[in-house]
């Protein structure tokens, strides 16, 4: 990675993704996130002329995506892979790392260079789907969700608690099992989740 005269770092090596740190991450901050992790971020996207085309900040809703899996433009996959939690940066992304020759009409014109003010709020390893888990992982997840439900219940958040208990009950048993087909070692946890 090389630096430009304005202090931006050329993270793509060809000038396609420039990153200028606006706010350093706090000392000891986690990061950068590895490929396959779920990233939570805020962003404001503008065209080169300053026209804003999108902003999670304006919506008050952080954006989540799995890094390195092509769910977002290449400039984001590579840009966020250099950040730490709490860091704010300006990513200047050339069209070949953004929306390409076509753009994304009507807001992003063809061959547009984009500026994104971004903040990495957090990241976590993507949770396995139930069908990907072995029995011990499923049971551990069910117990974790049940404990979270109990905390919510004790705080008076009954609707959220009920949702956690229902999810816990789902993880407590294997795929397609119900009634007397539920193995004895899984049945007690399943019943306790259902009765909460």
Query: Is 97 among the catalytic positions?
Result: no
State the catalytic residue, choosing from 80, 99, 165, 190: 99
Query: Is 80 among the catalytic positions?
Result: no
Q: According to the model, what pLDDT value does residue 77 have? A: 96
State the catalytic residue, choosing from 37, 43, 63, 97: 43
- Beta partners for residue 119, in sequence order: 42, 88
Mean residue pLDDT across the chain: 88
Query: Is 182 among the catalytic positions?
Result: no
Query: Is 54 among the catalytic positions?
Result: yes
Query: What is the secondary structure of the chain as a DSSP string?
Result: -EE-TTS-EESSSSSSEEEEEEEPPPTT---PPPTTEEEEEEEEEEETT--EEEEHHHHT--EEEETTTTSS-HHHHHHHTT--TT-EEEEEE-GGGTTTTT-BTTTB-TT--EEEEEEEEEEEEPPPPGGGS-HHHHHHHHHHHHHHHHHHHHTT-HHHHHHHHHHHHHHHS-TT--GGGS-HHHHHHHHHHHH-
Kindly tell me if the per-residue pLDDT of 44 is higher than 80. Answer: yes
Cα atoms in the Cβ-side hemisphere of radius 13 Å centred on 104: 14
pTM of the model: 0.69
Q: According to the model, what pLDDT value does residue 134 have? A: 84
For residue range 5-33, what is the model confidence (pLDDT) as tens digits?
A: 678 999 999 999 999 999 999 999 999 99
Dihedral of the alpha carbons of 61, 67, 69, 73, in degrees to the nearest 10? 60
Kindly tell me if the per-residue pLDDT of 37 is higher than 60. Answer: yes
């Amino acid at each position: 990675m090389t630096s430009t005269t304005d202090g931006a770092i050329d993270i793509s090596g060809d000038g396609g993704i420039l990153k200028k740190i606006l706010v350093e991450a706090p000392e000891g901050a986690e990061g950068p996130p590895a490929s396959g992790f779920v990233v939570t971020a805020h962003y404001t996207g503008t065209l080169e002329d300053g026209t804003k085309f999108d902003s999670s900040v304006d919506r008050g809703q952080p954006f989540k995506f799995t890094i390195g899996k092509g769910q977002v433009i290449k400039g984001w996959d590579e840009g966020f892979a250099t950040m730490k939690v709490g860091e704010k940066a300006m990513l200047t992304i050339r069209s070949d790392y953004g929306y390409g020759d076509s753009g994304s009409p009507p807001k992003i014109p063809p061959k547009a260079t984009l500026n994104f003010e971004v903040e990495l709020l957090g990241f976590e390893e993507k949770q396995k789907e139930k069908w990907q888990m072995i029995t011990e992982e499923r049971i551990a997840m069910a117990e974790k969700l049940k404990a979270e439900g109990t905390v919510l219940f004790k705080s008076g958040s009954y609707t959220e608690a009920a949702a956690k208990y229902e999810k816990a009950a789902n993880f407590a048993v294997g795929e397609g099992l119900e009634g007397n087909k539920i193995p004895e070692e899984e049945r007690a946890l399943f019943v306790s989740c259902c009765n909460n």
